[in-house]
Amino acid sequence: MGIESELRLLVSSSEWLSLSFDKDESGVEVGEIIQGSEFWSGGKEVLQALEPIFQVLCLVDGYNATSGFLYAAVEMTDEAIRQIYETNVAKYQSLWKIFKQWRGDIIQPIHAAAAFLNPAYMCSEKYIENDAMKHGMNIMLEKLVDGEEKEIFVQEMLLYRNKVPKLFTTMAVTMLRTSHPCDWWDYCGDVLPVLKKYAIRILSQPCSTSFCRESLSAFETAQTEKREPLMPAVMGDYLYLRTNALLMENFNTMKEKIRKPLDLVKLRELPDFSEFINENFTRDLLNEIK
């Protein structure tokens, strides 16, 4: 859409005419489409409808530490798609249904917990505490928090929720706008050490697991015959250990890049981190023998 003027000029230029496109049936059709207003108005309408979803995909498709931003981004997308849907229910009915199903597949309770633990979001005007966040924090308590730390975890969670001054100092409030939530907890969270530990653990995670899944699938396919003699449990443990080791290698390569605060309004400007992914990840797995 950003090159509409250039394309309109192109199909009426002497260069275009010199290529005899104006005498070819398909060339004439392309020229008429580009010169027509219907194509551009339709394209802009499609972009308007799909842009919010694309912004979320920037988070889901990356390998930087974005788990603390996904839930809020999907909430914003939900509102944007709902507004578009309400302008013309018949036209956007299918898009609305697809998005609702997609949202249910992509958002997990841990993402809601990560949103709660993201101090920048928790202190923003857009923040609304809901049952999904409470459910996510409850799952964290049940599945992730060590038994002897559960009571302290709950106590510190309530202090954080109430924005106690000893945690939200002048420095801490300033850092909300300038730091990734992991760095915020690392620097400001010493007064809540147990919650700090688990917050950093959750907020350090990427939203995407597709790279890992694809690699494991390729590995399993290539190694079918070699792994048959091995006990299934042993092979499963090996896969997880090997994958985690390679993911940590990638993390160490990217760690200076992945912890940057994100402006959810400007998700289209997210950098491309694919260049930092270890190109040998899949090949290493496929070449493993034992």
What tokens were used for 111? 């993402």
Residues 285/218, Cβ–Cβ less than 8 Å: yes
Summarised one tens digit per residue, pLDDT across range 150-177 is 999 999 999 999 999 999 999 999 999 8
Phi, psi of 32 (to 5 degrees): -65, -40
With a cut of 50, say whether residue 74 has pLDDT above it.
yes
In this prediction, residues 6-25 reach a mean pLDDT of 77
Q: What is the pLDDT of residues 164-223, one digit of tens each?
A: 999 999 999 999 988 999 999 999 999 999 999 999 999 988 876 554 444 444 444 444
Burial of residue 210, with CB atoms counted within 10 A of its CB: 0-12 exposed, 13-18 middle, 19 or more buried:
exposed
Domain ranges of the chain: 3-35, 63-208+257-269
Q: How sure is the predictor about 263, in pLDDT bands with cuts at 50, 70 and 90?
A: low
Is-contact 90 47, C-beta < 8 A? no
Residue 210 pLDDT: 52
- Please give the structure tokens belonging to residue 122: 């928790």
- Residue 97's identity, in one-letter code, is K
pLDDT band at 24 (very low <50, low <70, confident <90, very high): confident
Burial 91-126 (b: 16+ CB within 10 A, else e): ebeeeeeebeeebeeebbbbbbbbbbbbbbbbeeee
At residue 209, the pLDDT reads 53
- pTM of the shown model: 0.67
pLDDT tens sequence across 264-277: 665 555 444 444 33
Q: Mean pLDDT over residues 44-49, rounded? A: 82
> Band of the pLDDT at 258, cuts 50, 70, 90?
low
In this predicted model, what pLDDT tens digit does every residue of 226-239 receive, in sequence order? 555 555 556 667 77
Non-local CB neighbours of 215 within 8 Å, separated by 6+ positions: 243, 281, 282, 285
